[in-house]
Amino acid sequence: MDIERNKTYIEDIDRSIYDIKDQVKASYTSKRGLTFGIVNTISLEKNDPKWMREFRQESLKIYNSLELPKWGPSLSGLNMEDIVTYVRPDTKMQVSWEEVPEDIKNTFERLGIPQAERTSLAGVGAQYDSEVVYHNVREEVKSLGVIYTDMESALREQEDMVKKHFMKLVPPNSHKFAALHGAVWSGGSFVYVPPGVSVEIPLQSYFRLNAPGAGQFEHTLIIVDKGASLHFIEGCSAPKYNVANLHAGCVELFVGENARLRYSTIENWSKNMYNLNTKRAIVDKGGTIEWVSGSFGSHVSYLYPTSILNGENSKMEYTGITFAGKGQNLDTGVSVVHKAPNTSSHMNAKSISKDGGWSTFRSAVIVEDDASHSKSSVSCESLMLDGNSRSDTIPVMNIRNDEVDIGHEAKIGRISDDTVFYLMSRGLSETEARAMIVNGFAEPIAKELPLEYAVEMNHLIQLEMEGSIG
């Protein structure tokens, strides 16, 4: 037995709940690959308006003109010729949970949806493969004028608002996978909160990718108008296959004057997933965007939520944790652009790597010429649980104004044998001692997660932080 290895080794979490594979029952599946014919067929199947069909075709042109990123984790295992970009489940979207097909309903029941809805959520959307299969919102929320629906319904019922905002924050020419998203997007959520309305209970969307060798490309568009507030929760998972799956969703958040939005995400993709997601927010005068992020899955991730502080006294806060295990290369981070005076941003990130996992944190702080008296602080802490793992911190700062207050702090370390020995001298086993250290490291982040609202999210955090140590 390798005693030294066992001292610092944490087994992979038990993903048995998430790895249950359902039989694929699709009413329509696109051909593998990415061509103008495939994109046009998806658009026809979805009955897009003309402008959206043209948008998709133009996005595909941009996709074909752009190269893969030359930095970050390798994408050599991802071949778009092998990816199915659209899988429509054999059901229409339902507003009654009882009408959802039994096999799909059982999947979401296992994951804690809709138990969370019944106890503490104002509304829930559930997407299965490429389409939303269930969407419901409480009447008291509707009565406030809040619109919470799937993106396809919004495209029909709120077309002017969607057309005004859709992929304006993340234009297709942002990068190759934004262009891919623009071409084949499907599903996702649309939220509009009217001026002055405070949604006291969170809304949640959950995305489940079941089909092997498929991609999921949901689009989330949230508009929180002047003086309004909202907490939105996003959860994701997929079973593990021996072929590559792809997630290239897009999140666009518009935060109005003196408005507040908290966007919480727990991503628990399986380790055959390429997670190439794009998230951006723009914040008007006096507004606040809060990001709470947990990344616990995927083979490879590129994920960097971006905030544009567009109005004076606008604020951004980011709290995130990443857990990279065997076979995982998670390249995550956060960026902020200060465009106006007296803006502020605070980023607090933690990462855990084990069993050869590679965790990279990238931060970018840009302060433009007119953003005097802005403040920004970045704090990144990394914990490596064995000698095979790797953790990198890559900060970028572009400061164009002298009247600012900017700070950056990074720490990388390992579990201290002295600390383990001390805890064992107080009656804990080595397993309990090391688990306590990992939990203590993650606690400042974990306490920000909406555990009281999402049972499934609570279970994810517990599995990750309390993995068996032997």
Tens of pLDDT, residue by residue over 298-338, are 889 999 999 999 999 999 999 988 888 888 999 999 999 99
pLDDT reported for residue 306: 98
* pLDDT at residue number 449: 62
pLDDT at 34: 93
Query: Residue 368 and residue 402: Cα distance in Å, rounded?
Result: 10
CA gap 148, 220 in Å, rounded: 11
Tokens of 352: 């855990």
Please report, in angstroms and rounded to a whole number, the separation of the first and last CA atoms in the chain. Answer: 11
Q: Which residue has the tokens 């799956």?
A: 245
pLDDT of residue 121: 62
Percent over 90 (pLDDT), the chain = 46
Looking at residue 125, its pLDDT comes to 66
For 139, 156, 297, 375, the CA distances from 123, given in Å and listed in that order, are: 9, 20, 26, 36
Write out residues in the chain with pLDDT < 70, as ranges.
Answer: 1-28, 89-135, 211, 237-243, 435, 445-446, 449-470
Model pLDDT, residue 415: 75
Tell me the HSE value of 252 on the side-chain side, using a 13 A CA sphere: 22
Residue 193 has what pLDDT? 96
16-30: pLDDT as tens digits: 555 554 554 555 677
Taking alpha carbons only, the member of 392, 368, 171, 380 closest to residue 278 is 171
d(CA 323, CA 15): 14
394 pairs with which residues across the strands? Answer: 362
DSSP string, 166-221: TTTSS-GGG-HHHHHHHHH----EEEEE-TT-B--S-EEEEEE--STTBEE--EEE
The pLDDT value given to residue 6 = 33
The dihedrals phi and psi of 358, each to the nearest 5 degrees, come to -125, 120
